[in-house]
Amino acid sequence: MRSFKQSLFIILILGGAAFLGSNSIAHDIDVTGVARVIMDETEEGFYQLSIVDQQVPPLFNIERILPPRCEGLEPGRFSYRFYCEPQLNVDDQLSFPWGFEGVVVIANWNDDSSVSGYFPGDGSDVVIPLADLKAGAASISSLAIRYLELGAEHILLGIDHLLFVLGLLLLVKGFWKLIKTVTAFTIAHSITLAFAVLGIFPVPNAPIEVLIALSIVFLAREVIMAQRGQRTLAHASPWIIAFIFGLIHGFGFAGALGELGLSDGDIPLALLFFNLGVEAGQVAFIGALVTINMLFAKFLSEQLGSLYRGLAYGLGGIAAYWFIERLPSLYLV
């Protein structure tokens, strides 16, 4: 009875995570709440702001977001215009009164340089330091740090990706086999992430969401089969399964970058550091799970079998729910 209660407890926890995830951060294939803004320096001291997304609230008082020495001009048809004397410099910042997750700004300067960056919001404002939108070492390091953080955030908040990694840990026995399997998953999702972001092989969002849920259902099934003593290719060569499904998950990660609209020159660096951030988050998650497993093996060795079964059934149940929930999106495309 005690083992059954522990298994049920784990399933309930995972179920709660699925419920919260489906309503807030269930999947990172679309980065919602990210506005896109283009700022053009039309001539020295004169600027034009264009809001890419139609759902973004209008800026009724453009001077609210500008440095004090700047003044708003007559707006264009789809843009806002302003003038600064002296012109904008690296000590200035823009402050958008939006409660979005973040804003991507592409700055096209009068010297023909173009720099873009992602700037997270705090729930009420999004601050854009101009130092991060000027060409040079400062903007490069800022872009790298921001996308490293964004990549780590998207793996750690992408519950379905984390559950797939958890399934791999439950399936694979042996340290080196685990390293080989996780490496195959990493290589695969890095390939499709690059293909999707660079526009080489774009894929619609809805099928990817469905396939990611299905991949977790399949993995949970393989874990349960192994616990029953039935072995398949997934148990003999788990790296093959990890690679195949890693290709699918890579398209899921691509949603975090593909919707942001960076300038072409910034995409390679953003892609590199976003992927490094994803890997850092993934390694941290695996390290935490391995540590927890060691503690369970030390203090709850007799209950480990029941805990693993509970996790496997919990994974399968959550993924099946996601699969059913996401199916209608295939017909809405």
Domain boundary among 106, 130, 151: 151
Residues 130 and 264 in one domain: no
CA 177 to chain CA mean position, Å: 27
Residues 115 and 233 in one domain: no
Give CA–CA dist 57/190, Å, rounded: 35
Give CA–CA dist 174/185, Å, rounded: 17
Token output for 64 = 């609210």
Q: Which domain holds residue 113?
A: 34-151
DSSP annotation of 51 reads E
State in Å, rounded, how far the first CA of the chain is from the last one.
Answer: 47
Instruction: Supply the pLDDT for residue 89.
Output: 86
Give CA–CA dist 28/160, Å, rounded: 9
Give CA–CA dist 182/12, Å, rounded: 27
Instruction: Supply the pLDDT for residue 9.
Output: 37
- State the sign of the Cα–Cα–Cα–Cα dihedral 299, 303, 309, 310: negative
Residues 137 and 168 in one domain: no
Residues 186 and 292 in one domain: yes
> Are 119 and 132 spatial neighbours (Cβ–Cβ below 8 Å)?
yes
Q: pTM of the entire structure?
A: 0.64
Instruction: Supply the pLDDT for residue 148.
Output: 87
> Are 129 and 115 spatial neighbours (Cβ–Cβ below 8 Å)?
no
Instruction: Supply the pLDDT for residue 135.
Output: 58
**Running along the chain, 333 residues long, what does each successive block of 10 average in pLDDT?**
39 40 35 77 92 81 91 85 90 89 87 82 88 66 80 83 89 85 89 83 83 92 87 83 91 66 71 87 89 82 79 91 89 66
Instruction: Supply the pLDDT for residue 22.
Output: 40
Instruction: Supply the pLDDT for residue 138.
Output: 53
Residues 48 and 183 in one domain: no
Residues 97 and 185 in one domain: no
Domain boundary among 134, 151, 168: 151
Give CA–CA dist 186/180, Å, rounded: 10
> Are 156 and 276 spatial neighbours (Cβ–Cβ below 8 Å)?
no
Q: Can you point out the beta strands (E) in the chain? A: 34-43, 46-51, 70-72, 79-84, 93-96, 102-108, 114-120, 126-129
Overall size of the chain counted in residues: 333
Residues 60 and 170 in one domain: no
Domain boundary among 120, 151, 182: 151
Residues 147 and 162 in one domain: no
Residues 134 and 185 in one domain: no
Residues 305 and 319 in one domain: yes
Residues 176 and 271 in one domain: yes
The domain total for the chain is 2
Residues 224 and 278 in one domain: yes
| DSSP character string of 159-185 | HHHHHHHHHHHHH--SHHHHHHHHHHH
| Residue 18 vs residues 11, 230, 282: alpha-carbon distances, Å | 10, 28, 19
